[in-house]
Amino acid sequence: MNNPLEQFEIHKIVEISIFGYDLSFTNSSMVMLIGSILACGLFAYCVKNIAIIPSKAQMFGELIYNAINQTLINSAGAKAQKYIPLIFSLFIFILFCNILGLFPHSFAPTSHIAITFSLAIVVFLFITLAGIVKHGFKFFSLFLPAGIPLWLAPLMIIIELFSYLGKPISLSLRLAANMVAGHILLEVLAGFMVMLPLVLKVLPMPLIMILLVFEFGVAILQAYIFTILSCVYLNDTLNLH
């Protein structure tokens, strides 16, 4: 049986080095590029012929957009709607990367902590800057909840600061860990099926099909969880305590 961790290895497709930095185009880059192109193509098709009475394609695009927009409003308030381009793009990018990673001989970029942490850092820096721009120096009151006794303030500031700085770490680890676990499980079960005698190979097929459907649901759910947590963190910085 093959090593189930081999599917997470990054392979260079086009080797590129600029000023000593390795900027090679890899299998991870390829899947992210394909996912971005497919996402842009899909929604370009959905809005190609916008009408008052929407077509099925337009309804599909509007359904996804409205779902994410409503999630943002429910989590961070109506005034946060101006940030919908970032939140919607984040959800669609992660969703396509997750789903493309389920195809045979493909690669799941979101199974690598480097990718998920990069996305989380973008969100973290954006919401921090948005909070500072909106509240100015008052933003730092986020690290000292109202009503805290003065003698307890230094400890609370340290706790709140570490909690705030830990957000991108927890956000990235959650997504990467879920994608890795699901792919390893599928790889192990598929490996056992290959090892079975020919007449018994069909027996685990229903289980594998069920797991594939389950993983498809997880791919959608994890993209949504990453998005909704980003909305919650945005609410914390916009509305403070």
Cross-strand pairs, 18: 21
Question: DSSP class of residue 13?
Answer: E
Neighbours of 176 (CB within 10 A): 22
pLDDT at 196: 65
pLDDT at 185: 79
Residue 151 CA to residue 98 CA, distance in Å, equals 47
Residue 215 CA to residue 171 CA, distance in Å, equals 19
Identify which of 94, 126, 115 has the alpha carbon closest to the alpha carbon of residue 224: 94
pLDDT at 47: 84
pLDDT at 63: 93
pLDDT at 200: 63
Residue 237 CA to residue 73 CA, distance in Å, equals 15
Residue 37 CA to residue 33 CA, distance in Å, equals 6
Per-residue pLDDT of the chain (241 residues; tens, 9 = 90+): 567 677 778 888 888 888 778 788 888 899 999 999 999 999 998 888 787 877 888 898 899 999 999 999 998 888 888 899 999 999 999 999 999 988 878 888 998 899 999 999 999 999 999 889 888 888 888 888 777 778 788 888 888 888 888 889 999 999 998 888 887 877 777 777 666 666 666 666 777 788 888 888 889 999 999 999 999 999 988 887 6
Instruction: Tell me the torsion sign for CA atoms 99, 88, 75, 172.
Output: positive
pLDDT at 118: 93
pLDDT at 94: 95
Q: Provide φ and ψ at 215, rounded to 5°.
A: -65, -35
pLDDT at 97: 92
pLDDT at 136: 85
pLDDT at 213: 85
Q: Are 107 and 28 in contact (CB under 8 A)?
A: yes
160 to 120, 147, 229, 231, 236: CA distances (angstroms): 19, 15, 17, 19, 12
113 to 23, 43, 119, 164: CA distances (angstroms): 18, 28, 10, 19
pTM above threshold 0.85: yes
